[in-house]
Amino acid sequence: MRRPHEPAPLALATPAPPGAEVRPAIAHVGVVPARRPARPWGLLALSAGVAVVLVAPLVFLLIEAHGAGTSTILHLVFRSLTASLLWNTVRLTLVVTVLCAVIGTAAAWFVERTDLPGRPVWAVLVVVPLAIPDFVVSFGWASLSTWVQGFRGAVLVMTLAVYPLVYLPVAASLRNADPGQEEVARSLGAGRLATFWRITIGQARTAILGGCLLVALVLLAEYGAFEILSYQTFTTEIFTEFNVSFNIPTAAALSLVLVLLSFVVLAGEGLARGRGRVSRSGPLAQRVAPRRRLGRWTPAVLIGFTVLVGLALGVPVGASIYWILESGHGYLTGVSLLDSAWHTALYSATAAALATMMALPVALLAVRHRGRAYQLLERSTYLVLAIPGLVIAFALAYFSERYANGFLYQSAPLLVLAYAILFFPLALVGVRASLAQAPPGLEEIARSLGRRRLAVLWRVTLPLVAPGLAAAFSLVFLSAVTELTATLILIPTGVQTLATQFWAYQQNLAYGQAAPFALAIIAIAALPSFLLGRFFDRLPARTAAAT
Amino acid sequence: MSGLAIDNLHKGFGEHPVLSGLNLQVPAGSFTAILGPSGSGKTTLLRLLAGFERPDRGSIAIGQRTVDGEGIHVHPERRRVGYVPQEGSLFPHLTVAANIGFGLPRKARRGRVGGLLELVGLADLGQRYPHQLSGGEQQRVALARALAVDPEIVLLDEPFASLDAHLRARVREEVQQILRRSQTTTLLVTHDQDEALSLADQVAVLRDGAIVQHAPPQHLYTTPIDGDLARFIGEANLIEGLFDGTLVETPLGKLPAHWHGDPAPTPCPVIVLIRPEQISVNPVDDSAQPAGRIARTRYHGHDMILDIQIQPEHQPSPLLARTLGDAQLVPGQRVTLGIRGSVLVWPDVHAVAQPDGTPVHRARSSPDSVRHRREPERAP
């Protein structure tokens, strides 16, 4: 069989056009230069298509900004409002990120490395807040006390809502770290504390930084929680400009600054990560690190965990239940609850499937085919991380309205596409981690046993990465269910999802009617969270840390 | 009939050539070992044969069919090559039976898989998953999976390297018997000379990207083409001598010698190969002149390796001698040496002629110069 890009034998007779490869002519003499490995054209085309879709919102944004005129944009950017937004956004991001790093790492260390009583239960309870949307946490607190407002409210609420993003990768990394390294450090004369700082934290560093990166990006993109707490950031301002005042140039200008901030965060994480590699010598040891005895500290740590879970989980859930009971009669929201739950599930599942399918070719290309171009292509898809959901929604909406005659504007496909773009990096992480673990030798053997490429993909590769595909699906599904900002902008007319209906009631201060929707979101999001916990449990540290 | 014919095979990665003009003919149904040090291109050769890589130049024919050549590249799935990699690489998501049946059409699976399970002695384990098997069992499943598609040739890529020492010998034996029974042409790649010599009918030595010698194991051991090869496939003493056509004069006396290849001009400076087991070591009695002194002993249970220091002015590095493990010999003891059988000699290409015309060995500063020198390659 010839490969498609090999010159056909017939072509040898005709003189090669200028600039064409001269290989065929030489081949006749029998001196063939070293062949390049076959290029995976199909995968390349698919991945390039995915990359184009992903980068599209950024391009749209630039087009919008360009349309508004450079001087207008500059004028809008350099004014006192921008400075105050910048100050609000940056100080909140810094404080919450540091708090999350401390709480997440400490919780992970206690669960993974000490004899804390009830560890399996804590391991679940500590992660569950991930299933509670930030705006629900915010609602829970703000509806109970007026003290929770502004900066202090935002710090409290966001820390409680997003610290699991640090906990998860750090716990996976601690669990899989080579305990031998700590033992060697002790035997080389390092004390307990020194060993903890230099080895334990060192091993978990990549994971901690990865978690902090996610926290910072979430904070930059958050809208609902801050709106409830009356805390003004770039995102809330952009939302107001776009959705309320229809002031497109201002929204575009502020979006540019926000995207720039995200790039700064991404670059900062890259620099902090440095060249250090967390590796273990030899194969993954079956040996588990010995657990530190807490002894007389046990009660204090237990109280700490109880308080953490109580604040992060108990307050939002408790507040929702309280408001349902408080309203007493209940507005018989049954029908609209079911209807919006159906739409939430439908859009989220479709987006999850789409994002997972988009991630597969990119991951295959990056993991199975070595080459700078392929890696660059994969990297380019991570650009999406720096684009907040609001900006993606805003870019897609504006573009479809302005340049596509409103085609697809406020339609289900556009919302699903926005979700898929927004959460693509999450899908890629899941698929990639699984694929990196599946030995490529298996695919070669399958081929030498007489199976064609597609059959091998179907019968060997896909079953091997199935857990990763499931994880990718769950991750995107979970994120889409709890998404509010982009949904508010792109939701099809006349349709409500759980999040938008909750938001509508909440805006009207109808807490009793909003609360059942909050609980429904938590219930739908809980299952994927649980599955994800299982997936990350089994993943070796180096792949988990790559999040 | 030829099982495998490789002609002038070239393969490089970037600027780095791995195989340069490799030729190899393997008879159908034979068990051939490719023996080479790590980095000699063994795995690259197997991957080329399996079709995972494309050669830069040259041709490969498996059975009667050219699978790589001018304008030809048969894809792996059409080669009918059974590939058994080092770790077995079973599909972890499939049972043993499904692994073995992977390459078979659905209809053929039922009957054929049972027969193969029996062939590899795992009839009861068809429904197990790979992680429930021992290392040796995994290797046998990998072999059955490769044999299932009725391959023209089976390629074994250091399949025993990952097994424990005590398991290795048994699995080797089993694999060899299974392959003999199936009468499939087999190519085993290994860096372990013991494995190659004990398993294969034919051993081909891969060095610098080409086959330097291809011969039955015994012939290879007794008549390697040069000193490096002699050392690679076993322990060897290489000493200098002067060959007169039948005898060679050495620091150990005049020894009967044989010469491989073209008739030699005589007298001729030569390198002499003496295997350690050719040397008999006797404690000295008063009447005889001692030939040397035991510098060191290494005890291996079944035998013992002795370092024997002889006339330092002629032979600075000690000679290795192998004796039975029960010999009562200790370091420092004076001994006499006897040489059993005929020794192999090669011309010493580094010898230079003296003014009077007698060729002598070039002075050497270090005994290691023998070891590091490359002899010109000759066809086996």
Among the partner-chain residues B51, B77, B89, the one whose CB lies closest to the CB of A452 is B77
**CB within 8 Å: B91 and A442:** yes
Side chain identity at B124, as an amino acid letter?
D
Chain A positions touching B93 (Cβ under 8 A) are: 463-464, 466
* pLDDT attached to residue A283: 44
- Indicate the residue of B51, B71, B89 with minimum beta-carbon distance to A441: B89
Q: CA A246, CA A241: separation in Å to the nearest integer? A: 6
B→A contacts (Cβ < 8 Å), by residue, are 12-14, 50-54, 56-57, 70-71, 73-83, 85, 87, 89, 91-94, 102-103, 145-146, 148-149
Give me the amino acid identity at A204: A
Q: How far apart are CA B159 and CA B146, in angstroms?
A: 13
Across the interface, of A34, A35, A446, the residue whose CB is closest to B102 is A446
A92: how many CB neighbours lie within 10 A of its CB? 20
Contacts (Cβ under 8 Å, ≥6 apart) of A258? A220, A234, A235, A238, A388, A391
Domain B2-222: assigned CATH number: 3.40.50.300
Q: Which residues of A fall within a CB distance of 8 Å from B94?
A: 463
Contact A449 B79 (CB under 8 A): no
Does A450 contact B87 at a Cβ distance shorter than 8 Å? no
Among the partner-chain residues B57, B78, B89, the one whose CB lies closest to the CB of A445 is B89
Domain parsing of chain A, residue ranges: 52-275+296-544
Are A448 and B82 in contact (CB < 8 Å)?
yes
Interface A–B counts its CB contacts (< 8 A) at 79
Element (H, E) at A234: helix A234-239
- Cβ of B149 within 8 Å of Cβ of A449? The answer is yes
Q: Which of B73, B76, B93 sits opposite A447 (nearest CB)?
A: B76
From the CA of B78, how many Å to the nearest CA of chain A? 6
Alpha carbons within 13 angstroms on the beta-carbon side of residue B41 total 25
Q: Which residue of B has its CA nearest to A462?
A: B93
Residue in B with minimal Cα distance to A6:
B71
ipTM reported for the complex surpasses 0.90: no
Structure tokens at A513: 């009617």
**CB distance B62 to B51 below 8 Å:** no
pLDDT of residue A131: 84
CATH superfamily of A52-275+296-544: MetI-like (1.10.3720.10)
Six-digit token pair at B250?
């050495």
State which residue of chain A sits closest to B89, comparing Cα positions. Answer: A442
Residues of A in contact with B77 (CB under 8 A): 447-452
A464, B149: Cβ pair inside 8 Å?
no
Strands B185-190 and B31-35: parallel
Distances from the Cα of A73 to the Cα of A119, A252, A253, B64, angstroms: 53, 8, 5, 73
Interface contact B14-A3, CB threshold 8 A: no
Q: A178 versus B367: which is more confidently predicted?
A: A178
Residues on chain A touching B65 (C-beta within 8 angstroms): none
Q: How far is B378 from chain A (nearest CA, A)?
A: 25
Rounded CA-CA distance A316/A519 in Å is: 9
Cβ density class A422-433: b for 16+ within 10 Å, e for less: bbbbbbbbbbbb
Residue of B nearest to A465 (CA): B93
> Which of the two residues, B275 and A280, has the higher pLDDT score?
B275
| Residue of B89, B90, B152, B155 to mutate for A, most A C-beta atoms under 10 A | B89
* Side chain identity at residue A483, one-letter code: E
Residue at B118: amino acid letter = E
pLDDT value, residue A533: 66
E strand or H helix that includes residue A418? helix A412-422
Which residue is it, tokens 């079973």? B90
Of A1, A32, A450, the CB nearest to B57: A32
For residue B317, the model assigns a pLDDT of: 79
> What is the phi/psi pair of residue A407, to 5°?
-60, 125
| Nearest in space to A489 (alpha carbons), one of A387, A396, A425, A405 | A396
Q: State whether B52 and A9 contact (CB < 8 Å).
A: no
pLDDT band with cut points at 50, 70 and 90 for residue B289:
low
Question: Residue B56 and residue A34: Cβ atoms within 8 Å?
Answer: yes
Segments of chain A with pLDDT less than 70: 1-39, 274-289, 328-335, 406, 533-547
Q: Would you place residue B15 in the very low, low, confident or very high pLDDT band (cuts 50, 70, 90)?
A: confident
Residue A119 C-alpha, separation from nearest chain B C-alpha, in angstroms: 29
Confidence of residue B371 (pLDDT cuts 50, 70, 90): very low
CATH 2.40.50.100 fits B235-369, yes or no: yes
What residues in A contact B102, CB-CB < 8 Å? 446, 449, 451, 459
**What CA–CA distance (Å, rounded) separates A414 from A393?**
9
Binary contact (B78, A450; C-beta < 8 A): yes
Nearest CA in chain B to A459: B102
Residues A371, A379: contact at Cβ < 8 Å? no
Backbone angles phi, psi at A534, to 5 degrees: -65, -40
Which of A369, A448, A459 to mutate to probe the B interface, most B CBs <10 Å?
Answer: A448
Please judge whether B82 and A442 are an interchain contact, meaning their C-beta atoms are less than 8 angstroms apart.
no
Contact flag B92-A1 (C-beta cutoff 8 Å): no
Is B368's pLDDT higher than 60? no
For residue A510, what pLDDT is reported? 84
- Please report, for chain B, the start and end positions of each structural domain, with discontinuous segments joined by +: 2-222, 235-369
Residues of A within 8 A of B14 (CB-CB) are: 34
- Å between A9 CA and nearest CA of chain B: 8
Contact A9 B145 (CB under 8 A): no
Say what the pLDDT of residue A30 is: 34
Summarised one tens digit per residue, pLDDT across range B157-182 is 888 877 777 878 888 888 888 888 88
Look up residue B35 and give its two tokens. 């023996």
The pLDDT tens digits for B32-80 are 999 998 888 888 999 899 888 889 999 999 988 999 988 888 888 888 8
- Residue B352 pLDDT: 56
Q: Which of A38, A451, A463 sits opposite B77 (nearest CB)?
A: A451
B99 to chain A, minimum CA–CA distance in Å?
A: 10
The pLDDT, as a whole number, for residue A21 is 36
What does the pLDDT read at residue A7?
36
What mean pLDDT value characterizes chain B?
A: 83
Cis amide prior to A179 (ω within 30 degrees):
no
Q: Do the beta carbons of residue B338 and residue B282 sit within 8 Å?
A: yes
Q: B322: part of which helix (H) or strand (E)?
A: strand B319-324
Q: Do B89 and A442 touch (CB under 8 A)?
A: yes
